[in-house]
Homo-oligomer: A and B are copies of this chain.
Amino acid sequence: MVALKPGTSVATGVRGAHNRPMEMSRSLIARNLGAHSRFETEELMAIEAALGRVVRSVEARRDILREGDAPQTIKFVLEGWVSRYKELPDGRRQILSLMIPGDICDANAFILEEMDHSLGAITTVRYAEIGREEFDAIVASSLNMAKALWRSELVTASIQREWTMSVGQRTAPERISHLFCEMYARLAGLGLTQGGSCEFPLTQADIGEATGLTSVHVNRTLQALRREGLVELRARRLHVLDHDRLREKAMFAPSYLHL
């Protein structure tokens, strides 16, 4: 049993400039989980209710969990972008994946003893936490729910493979284009795109860490992509100017997203 009563909300961190109602954030999770395995309303209610109980926020650029920690809860991103990253002893950093609203941070929390990577907030992030008992209860009570969570983990793994492919084989312009295609497609799946553009809060240095390039080279490559009329990136927003040519350049085959 969880100590907090339904409806109790815990907020840490500083910012409170989020006016989007809670229901909307939570429905993104449902959309993420339920797109394929049609849930009974009842089952959806259970997770929706659970997600309202403990909500936290972290400021941009703060860590949520560090490599080596033993997490006590599973986290659902409600708002903002989270990066999964690793560091080498000499400081080289690699962003391994990006999590957006609706994504689950670590369903592994209770099986593997300690984190083999860190989680960092790209933007200010709001997330919901679920404890072990509650999580187990939800999973045990609904086969659909368990399948949906399992499926979501498998999609995450598929995306990770595509990232390995990207850094291993694609050139700089291809990698960056591919990152744009992927994030645009994922956000589009959540209804978070607006007329060919979407939020894109990564700095050029972040893009470098995600693609295995230096920020200098990211800068020059972005200029080239813009000169070609493919995309424009300004004010933390991505404007896709030519979807088809961008996809072609990236060799983006969206089936790996299993949308």
Contact = CB atoms under 8 A, between A and B. Distances in A.
Interface of A: 84, 86, 88-90, 92-94, 96-97, 108, 111-114, 116-117, 147, 150-151, 153-158, 160-165, 167-170, 211-212, 251, 255-256, 258
21 contacts: A84-B161, A86-B161, A86-B165, A88-B165, A88-B169, A92-B169, A94-B164, A94-B165, A94-B169, A108-B157, A111-B150, A111-B151, A112-B155, A114-B255, A116-B161, A116-B162, A156-B157, A157-B157, A160-B160, A163-B164, A168-B211
A154 B88 contact: no
A158 B112 contact: yes
Given A116-B258, A212-B168, A161 B158 contact: no
Contact of A154 (B111, B151, B164, B211): B111
Copies in the complex: 2
Contact of A165 (B96, B169, B251, B256): B96
Contacts of A117: 161
B160 A161 contact: yes
Contacts of A251: 88-90
A165 B89 CA distance: 13
A258 B94 CA distance: 20
